């Protein structure tokens, strides 16, 4: 079953995992050490992130390392960009309105 990337990042634990492995590739045990949860729960989160292609696995000897898939994160950023522009426009409009009100009160 292919999962939606936005469902994957909706979970705070998965967002925290993304933040942790954005710095360096880590094993599931090393990732789990950062959480107060079971290793199995972390494995489930990693499986979901892998299915969504937000993280990738790399076998190094007997260990599997998980790292962030930057290209997939760029897809999320591209989708968010449309809203970022909208909010920046609204904040600029609000700032202009507040400046106008402030000038009016000074007169």
3-class DSSP string for 9-51:
HHCHHHHHHHHHHHHCCECHHHHHCCCCCCHHHHHHHHHHHHH
pLDDT computed for residue 73 by the predictor:
87
pLDDT computed for residue 13 by the predictor:
96
pLDDT computed for residue 85 by the predictor:
86
CATH code for residues 1-68: 1.10.10.10
Q: What are the sequence ranges of the domains in the chain?
A: 1-68, 70-107
pLDDT computed for residue 107 by the predictor:
67
pLDDT tens figures, 16-39:
999 999 999 999 999 999 999 999
Low-confidence ranges of the chain (pLDDT < 70): 1-2, 107
- Among the listed residues 6, 31, 28, the one whose alpha carbon sits nearest the alpha carbon of residue 19: 31
- pTM, two decimals, is 0.75
């Amino acid at each position: 079953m292919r999962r939606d990337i936005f469902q994957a990042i909706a979970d705070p634990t998965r967002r925290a995992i993304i933040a942790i492995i954005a710095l360096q590739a880590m094993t599931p045990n090393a990732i789990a050490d950062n959480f107060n949860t079971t290793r199995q729960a972390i494995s489930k989160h990693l499986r979901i992130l892998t299915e969504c292609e937000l993280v990738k696995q790399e076998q190094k000897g007997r260990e599997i390392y998980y790292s962030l898939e930057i290209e997939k994160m760029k897809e999320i950023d591209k989708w968010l960009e449309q809203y970022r522009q909208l909010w920046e426009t609204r904040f600029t409009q609000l700032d202009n309105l507040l400046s106008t009100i402030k000038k009016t009160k000074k007169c």
